[in-house]
Amino acid sequence: MIEYTTTPTGITADMLGGFFVGWPDPPSPPTHLRILQSSHFVVLAVDRQADRVVGFINAISDGIMAAYIPLLEVLPDYQGRGIGTELVKRMLDKCAELYVVDLTCDPGVQSFYARCGMQPSTGMMVRRYEYQAGRIEQAN
């Protein structure tokens, strides 16, 4: 039984293992938790029986006009059950009154997002792979 929640309250780092599959330098679970806590919106899929987060999506936003969705992932063992679709739909609902909702993705995933009601676009980006695990917070 998968439960969906829109707050990271009550989520601990040890509920967040197994994500960032294939990333050379993934964020640690504690850093992942900080990312969720620092996001404007999150939707989490939680397997309460296993006491673990099995899927998540986050958005950073000005809360007025625009939101950007940096991350969406469902644990491999839980893929193909509609969880990813549900996470995107719930996030788009959270962003329903915003003019802009953007994300970047590989071409192969565009059909998945299109079925969630999104449309293709072009964009520009910078990636600094030395910071892929997350920037270490400065002391002040």
If one asks whether residue 47 binds ligand COA (CB under 6 A), the answer comes out as no
If one asks whether residue 65 binds ligand COA (CB under 6 A), the answer comes out as no
Stretch of residues binding ligand COA (CB under 6 A), selected from 58-66, 91-99, 102-110, 127-135 = 102-110
The DSSP bridge partners found for residue 101 are 67
Name which position in 8, 27, 29, 84 contacts ligand COA (CB under 6 A).
Answer: 84
CA separation for the pair 36, 41 (Å, rounded) = 8
Stretch of residues binding ligand COA (CB under 6 A), selected from 7-15, 33-41, 72-80, 127-135 = 72-80
Secondary element (H or E) of residue 54: strand 52-61
- Smallest separation, CB 140 to ligand COA (Å): 34
CB contact burial 83-121 (16+ within 10 A = b; e otherwise): bbebbbebbbebbeebeebebeeeeeeeeebeeeebeee
If one asks whether residue 80 binds ligand COA (CB under 6 A), the answer comes out as yes
